[in-house]
Amino acid sequence: MKQLVEVAYRSLAKHGEELCGDAVLVRTTPHSLIVGLSDGLGSGVKAHILATLTTTIAVNMLEKGETIDEVVETLADTLPECQVRHLAYATFSVLVVTNGRHAYLVEYDNPPLILVRGGEVVRLPMVERETRGRTLRECEFELEQGDYMVLVSDGYVHAGVGGLYKLGWGWQNLATAVQRWAGTGEDAYQLTSALAHTCLRLYGGRPGDDATAVGMKVRQPIEATILTGPPSSPALDRQVVERFMAAKGQKVICGGTTAQVVARETGRTLQVQLALPGPSTAGRRERIPPTAHLEGVDLVTEGIITLSKAVERLQAAETFHDLPPANDGATALARVLLQADVLHFMVGDAINPYQLADVVRGKPMRQVYLEELISQLQARGKVVSVEHL
């Protein structure tokens, strides 16, 4: 059974600073995931730059297949030690996951990764070794469905020091909090949001240090197939519709003509539903074309206008949790796209004489909006494939 690691993170900047001195970099490919967390020495802009350099160097080198020793050597040559405290300019944790199952973890001066499996906190068998004068902790392990993992910077461990917790929240109390939250079965985004809320409360709303949490959940991937535009030749209609209806996961049709083709080939009735108002903008409700119902298809929307509005929804939201509480076609489409991990676009190339072309790029507007949607989805680490019909 396929599985993947869902990732979300939240950072709190030290009180009085505009930028958080921690940095997170997540790199996703069809077969691997690399998550890097770094805590820059000090706080503010300088710490943020140092942490960003550290995560960028580490993730890029590991993605290219270079060893952690080569990474540490490059970091040591790039970021010299603090001359006053003789400390490295940034700590780091990097988790590399292959095919959603095999994990390699390396930590340098960061709090240990928290792993909750089957409702219990699991201590990983970390092995320490020295390289270039730095003590690394390493471990390889297999991931299981339902695992929760959390990486944090030390701002979380120190939260509440001198207050509710004399010595700070501490790793064990933090691990217990993750353990309790894992029992809810919620996603990584909600986990990190809950941890950030608690951390901020322990600091009394004024964080005494930069604090970052990276939450991860191992689960099955969510798949979606989007069919938009009739095939280039009517002779392909039946074959395309059969493949679309047999696809795994959620099925979405964008376009009235496309929906009619699917209804005809399946012998099912297409029922147009009452148009629902879109979100309010400047006191005015957006006018979004109505959706339709077709048995066996999860969502049926109009084409160009809905696609253009879905682009706007994605531009304004990082995850589906950020979408407005509306059920219009554009919001519903954006919700499907943001919830899915693996998306396949089946794009019909039939020429529509009524379709406007983009003046600058000379392309049909549907293609322009699709390219923008796909670009935004790929930027979020989603696996996207496109097939022209």
CA distance 153 to 159: 11
57 and 166 housed in the same domain: yes
257 and 282 housed in the same domain: yes
- The whole-angstrom distance between residue 178's C-alpha and the CA centroid of its chain comes to 20
302 and 174 housed in the same domain: no
Asked if 230 and 204 count as a contact pair (C-beta separation under 8 A), the reply is: no
Q: What pLDDT digit, counting tens, does each position of 314-365 carry?
A: 999 888 888 888 889 999 999 999 999 999 999 988 876 656 555 556 677 8
CA distance 19 to 63: 27
Residues of the chain with pLDDT under 70: 1, 80-88, 162-163, 274-285, 352-362
208 and 281 housed in the same domain: no
pTM comes to 0.84
Which domain-ending residue is among 219, 236, 267? Answer: 219
pLDDT at 41: 82
pLDDT at 20: 94
268 and 184 housed in the same domain: no
CATH number, domain at 39? 3.60.40.10
pLDDT at 282: 47
198 and 230 housed in the same domain: no
Give me the number of domains the chain comprises.
2
168 and 273 housed in the same domain: no
Q: What pLDDT digit, counting tens, does each position of 99-122 carry?
A: 889 999 999 989 999 999 999 999
Structural domain range at position 344:
223-388
250 and 207 housed in the same domain: no
